[in-house]
Amino acid sequence: MKQAIDIKTKLIKHGVKKLKLFGFTNVTEQNILEDEVYRLYFERILSSNLGNDADVDEKITEMIDQLKK
């Protein structure tokens, strides 16, 4: 379970970093999952990272499903 939490944390941090590069200066680890626009872009970032590692892919798929709810 610890590994899944670590993967999720790393993915969120990566997403925040990417969104800040896109110009979303107010994005944080907290609001990336709450704000509608940030969620949309984060979902795309997650999708683009699929296919690199089975464990990571599982967590990405889980996170994308949660974002769509």
pTM assigned to the model:
0.88
- Confidence class of residue 28 from pLDDT cuts 50, 70 and 90? very high
What pLDDT was estimated at residue 24?
A: 97
Distance CA 54, CA 69 (A): 23
What pLDDT was estimated at residue 1?
A: 55
Phi, psi (deg, nearest 5) at residue 27: -70, 140
DSSP per residue, 4-39: HHHHHHHHHHHHHHHHHHTT-TT--TTGGGTSHHHH
pLDDT higher than 70, residue 2:
no
